[in-house]
């Protein structure tokens, strides 16, 4: 029990109460906010033992999380990133300046490169453009490219152009947990398989266009123009640029290499086989289109020859009339026919008979 007199207690508590009343409120610290991903980030996720972790973290947080768990890796998907975003992503995942510069430009040739612990796989994307009819300006094949940076515990995909969206690839791959346990190279396999499937799908649609074009070229009322054929050939060449160069990197991944595991090499071998089918079909379409083009050129030459024969036949018919009129137009003195009663009618009959005879002969020979 406090034995101090009341006056002393008041002197002690009164200053304390005043100090508490006049004390400034301590500012409260706002809750920590997590940075948001840039617009170029399509998706970002951390996978542990083949299972996607909840949420969509910032790529820096995802990278740090994957580094703390040996069974984890991060998949970051980018679409047409800006230089600032790509530079920041490259520094986060340890990409060198050359890889960052390559990721900022489109139109790369399919290739496989390895620098330190990072592997770069470049593939071309392709999509069929629907159209009602083939014209000299029709776009049949739309292409882009995708760059896959594969590290120990990360895979960064950079896509340029509209074709080759990877949302479906990610969704299907997440349903195959056993495959995802193979790590980043499982993502690379799934993307390769998707690109090759797109090549085959585009080839099927191009085959339909070729069949229609072939029908119009060899139909009785030919409507196919040389410009239409040449436009389709340009589109097939664009498809060949995407399909043919992809053979080298895929064959490398299917063989002995430091990249995918032996179990995944079997899957890459299967993709390489599908790619070989796509290559054979595209080459066959190109050869067929060359044959169609040559056939159409031959048809044009025949049509021009027919026109020239018709012109020559009518010129010969007209020449007989000109000859007769020229002879009787010379007005010589001693020309018995000039004084004959039926000379004028006889000249007209001769001209008509010569024209009809020549016309019949030319029709019989196929010139008219």
CB 60 within 8 A of CB 92: yes
Mean pLDDT of 127-151: 89
- 244: pLDDT strictly greater than 80: yes
Domain range spanning residue 289? 41-298
Per-residue pLDDT, 16: 55
Q: Does 345 reside within a domain?
A: yes
Model pLDDT for residues 69-104, shown as the tens digit of each residue: 889 999 999 999 999 999 999 999 999 999 999 999
Those residues whose C-beta lies under 8 Å from the C-beta of residue 228, and which sit 6 or more positions away, are: 134, 135, 136, 138, 213
Model pLDDT for residues 141-169, shown as the tens digit of each residue: 999 999 999 998 999 999 998 888 899 99
Q: Does 3 reside within a domain?
A: no
Tell me: do 167 and 246 sit in the same domain. Answer: yes
Domain boundary among 267, 298, 329: 298
Q: Does 23 reside within a domain?
A: no
The region that residue 80 occupies, defined by phi over 0 for left and psi between -120 and 50 for alpha, beta otherwise, is left
Q: Does 9 reside within a domain?
A: no
Tell me: do 344 and 274 sit in the same domain. Answer: no
Q: Does 22 reside within a domain?
A: no
Tell me: do 321 and 203 sit in the same domain. Answer: no
Mean pLDDT of 247-255: 92
Q: How many domains does the chain have?
A: 2
Tell me: do 195 and 69 sit in the same domain. Answer: yes
- 7: pLDDT strictly greater than 60: no
Tell me: do 230 and 285 sit in the same domain. Answer: yes
pLDDT-wise least confident of 7-16, 156-165, 169-178, 196-205:
7-16
Assigned token pair, 311: 């012109």
Tell me: do 258 and 361 sit in the same domain. Answer: no
Assigned token pair, 30: 């706002």
- 137: pLDDT strictly greater than 90: no
Mean pLDDT for the chain overall? 84
Tell me: do 163 and 233 sit in the same domain. Answer: yes
Instruction: Give the domain CATH number at 315.
Output: 1.20.58
What is the share, in percent, of the chain residues with pLDDT greater than 90?
Answer: 46
Domain boundary among 282, 298, 314: 298
Domain boundary among 259, 278, 298: 298
Instruction: Give the domain CATH number at 177.
Output: 3.30.460.20
Per-residue pLDDT, 121: 95
Q: Does 137 reside within a domain?
A: yes
Model pLDDT for residues 257-309, shown as the tens digit of each residue: 778 888 899 999 999 999 999 999 999 998 988 888 888 777 777 777 777 88
Q: Does 35 reside within a domain?
A: no
Tell me: do 268 and 326 sit in the same domain. Answer: no
CB 255 within 8 A of CB 265: yes
Q: What does pTM read for this prediction?
A: 0.75
Per-residue pLDDT, 150: 95
Tell me: do 310 and 289 sit in the same domain. Answer: no
- 21: pLDDT strictly greater than 50: no
Q: Provide the 8-state DSSP code for 244.
A: G
Tell me: do 48 and 192 sit in the same domain. Answer: yes
Model pLDDT for residues 336-363, shown as the tens digit of each residue: 766 777 777 877 888 888 888 888 888 8
Q: Is 16 or 277 the better-scoring residue by pLDDT?
A: 277
Tell me: do 222 and 133 sit in the same domain. Answer: yes
Tell me: do 161 and 216 sit in the same domain. Answer: yes
Q: Does 6 reside within a domain?
A: no
The region that residue 331 occupies, defined by phi over 0 for left and psi between -120 and 50 for alpha, beta otherwise, is left
Measured between alpha carbons, how far is 176 from 154 in angstroms, rounded to an integer? 18
∠ Cα 150 178 54 (to 5°)? 75
């Amino acid at each position: 029990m406090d034995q101090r007199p009341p006056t002393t207690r008041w002197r002690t508590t009164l200053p304390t109460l005043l100090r508490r009343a006049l004390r400034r409120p301590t500012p409260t610290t706002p809750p920590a906010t997590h940075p948001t991903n840039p617009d170029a980030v399509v998706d970002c996720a951390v996978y542990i033992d083949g299972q996607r972790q909840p949420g969509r973290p910032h790529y820096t947080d995802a990278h740090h999380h994957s580094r703390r768990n040996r069974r984890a890796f991060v998949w970051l998907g980018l679409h047409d990133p800006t230089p600032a975003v790509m530079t920041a992503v490259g520094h986060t995942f340890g990409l060198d300046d050359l890889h960052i510069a390559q990721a900022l430009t489109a139109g790369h040739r399919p290739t496989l490169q390895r620098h330190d612990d990072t592997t770069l796989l470049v593939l071309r994307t392709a999509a069929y453009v629907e159209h009602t009819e083939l014209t000299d300006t029709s776009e049949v094949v739309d292409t882009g490219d995708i760059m896959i940076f594969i590290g120990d515990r990360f895979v960064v995909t950079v896509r340029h152009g509209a074709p080759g969206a990877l949302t479906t690839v990610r969704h299907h791959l997440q349903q195959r947990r056993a495959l995802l346990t193979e790590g980043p190279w499982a993502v690379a396999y799934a993307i390769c398989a998707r690109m090759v499937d797109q090549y085959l799908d585009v080839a099927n649609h191009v085959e339909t266009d070729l069949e229609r074009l072939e029908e119009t070229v060899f139909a009785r009322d030919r409507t196919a123009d040389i410009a239409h054929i040449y436009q389709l050939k340009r589109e097939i060449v664009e498809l060949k640029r995407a399909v043919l160069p992809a053979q080298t990197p895929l064959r490398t991944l299917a063989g002995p290499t430091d990249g995918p595991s032996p179990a995944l090499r079997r899957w890459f071998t299967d993709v390489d086989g599908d790619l070989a089918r796509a290559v054979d079909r595209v080459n066959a379409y190109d050869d067929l289109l060359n044959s169609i083009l040559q056939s159409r050129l031959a048809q044009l030459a025949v049509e021009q020859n027919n026109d020239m024969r018709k012109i020559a036949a009518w010129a010969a018919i007209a020449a007989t009339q000109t000859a007769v009129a020229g002879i009787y137009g010379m007005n010589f003195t001693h020309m018995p026919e000039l004084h004959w009663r039926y000379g004028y009618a006889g000249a007209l009959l001769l001209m008509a008979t010569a024209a009809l005879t020549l016309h019949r002969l030319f029709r019989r020979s196929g010139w008219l």
